[in-house]
Amino acid sequence: MVNELSRKDSDLSNLEQEKGIAYHQEVMAAIGEEDTGGNVGTAAYERSKFMADITPEQNKRILRKIDFLVLPLFLITQTIQYLDKTALNYAKVFGMEKAMNLQGQQFAMAASMFYIGYMVAQAPFAYLIGRFPAGKVLGISCVFWGMSVLTMVANKNYTHVLVNRFFLGVLESAVTPGLSLMTGFWYTRVESPLRQTIWYSSVGLGGMIGALMAAGISQMSDDGPVPRWQLIFYILGAITVVWGGVLYLFLADGPSNARWLNDEDRALAVGRVAANGTGIKSSKFEWHQAKAALLDPKAWLLTIAMFGSSVPNGILTNFSGPIIKGMGFSTLNAALLDCAGRSLQIISLLIAGYFSTKFESCRIIMVTIGNLVCVLGSCLMAFLPFSQTWPRLVGFWLINCQSIGFTLGLVMISSNIGGYTKRSMTSTMVFIGYCVGNILGPQFVFENEAPVYRSAAYAMLASYGGKTVCHALLGVYMLMSNRKRDSIAPADPKRAADLGMQGKTEDENSDFRYVL
């Protein structure tokens, strides 16, 4: 009797399961595979609603796949981009300036020209990443900027260098803004800070690789068949072209079409990031969202803060070698000491990313700590006498903590701006500030002030001070906005996710709450 009852229960359970599967398939057929309104991932999101809630085990498994198959691509791409951008810094040490017959401030202008190209092209690239598969866009741009690096050796004069650097900036402008936007495609708001600091720590890694490469090349004879400054561009350019092919073939556009996830995991992966309330991306450009970005105080505070971090960045990325060498160190020792500063950059980024992920409402705190460390470092550079070599060098190392504010500022865009058009427009505004700051930064480095470069130190101090104020105001603005929304009605996370996947901005989504 017991066996018979068990068999009946089993048959009933199987019948219910078959009905559930049939119903699920019927729903899937009704929904279809097409996204609606140009909002990427909506079909997968609708499928996820008819599935059981994602379990911790499923979430961990999907996150592990994303970390293993997406995060390394981001990190290596950013490393290569940074190396190619700053190759000019190392080529200067090995005689490029003399070979190109650059005089006075011409080298500084060549460094700045990269960011003019970057400023012109990063908005179109943000649109292309929304309109077409992001991996294909980044892969193609990577191949062409690698070719631009290779052709640097063919330049004969100042004009050639300016043109080459302009197009390098145009082609590289897809990378950091694009990867920042794509981080929001893959990761939840809780996961984003650590992942973004991991892949952006590659600027420190790239700086270390570049410094060590320069140190190795410095030990080579200068009478070889290829001048040492040209060797830098040949090595980096060839690597970049090959890596572009890797991106084109293997970087997925987002969780809804990742070939290495099965149908069920794609829906669950989209459901994970839908909970952000910001959506994934849209192939349509919404003019009202673009206007909303231009009128948003958050966007302007982030833009001014980015400008504040980028003036020093324009100095550091192009003159770190000459500045350290000017303190009395050899080319080899200057490269090794630069590595020490870069290691601090990596460590500080990972610590800030960990705490921002581990503890709620910790991002503005981490940004403020990083900014204040930079203020201290620039004070040591600006006010200590030149004879205080090691304290000034420590100040120079501390300035590497500027990447905390830069990186978590970008996380603020992907986590707190809803609607792809508004998010990409905010990113465009922020990176215009980035470009303007990097264009102006090298202009504060005057050759007649070598080796002290006091004007550059003053410019860094003023920039970090302004950046600190802007980030504090941003934190206050978002905190007050959250309290105002809570006083009207409590947030409904599911409704926030629905509106986010429909492409609504955070202002149109009353259930959205900012993460601080």
Please report, for the chain, the start and end positions of each structural domain, with discontinuous segments joined by +.
Answer: 56-501
Q: What are phi and psi of 95, to 5 degrees?
A: 100, 10
Taking phi first (over 0 means left), then psi (-120 to 50 degrees means alpha), and beta for anything else, what does residue 187 get?
beta
Closest alpha carbon to 494 in 266, 279, 277, 256: 277
Distance CA 184, CA 257 (A): 15
Predicted local distance difference test score (pLDDT) of residue 119: 92
442-482 pLDDT tens trace: 888 887 777 778 888 899 999 999 999 999 999 999 999 99
201-246 pLDDT tens trace: 998 888 888 878 877 887 776 667 788 888 889 999 999 999 999 9
Closest alpha carbon to 411 in 133, 184, 171: 184
Residues of the chain short of pLDDT 50, as ranges, are: 1-2, 5-6, 8-13, 15-32
For residue 451, say if its preceding peptide bond is cis, omega within 30 degrees of 0: yes
Predicted local distance difference test score (pLDDT) of residue 222: 67
Closest alpha carbon to 439 in 165, 172, 95: 165
**Both tokens assigned to 299:** 């966007």
Which runs of E-coded beta strand occur in 448-514?
none
Distance CA 371, CA 397 (A): 14
Q: In the block, which residue shows the tokens 């149908």?
A: 263
Predicted local distance difference test score (pLDDT) of residue 26: 44
Predicted local distance difference test score (pLDDT) of residue 36: 66
Predicted local distance difference test score (pLDDT) of residue 298: 97
**Both tokens assigned to 240:** 């970049």
**What CATH number labels 56-501?**
1.20.1250.20
**Both tokens assigned to 390:** 């090691």
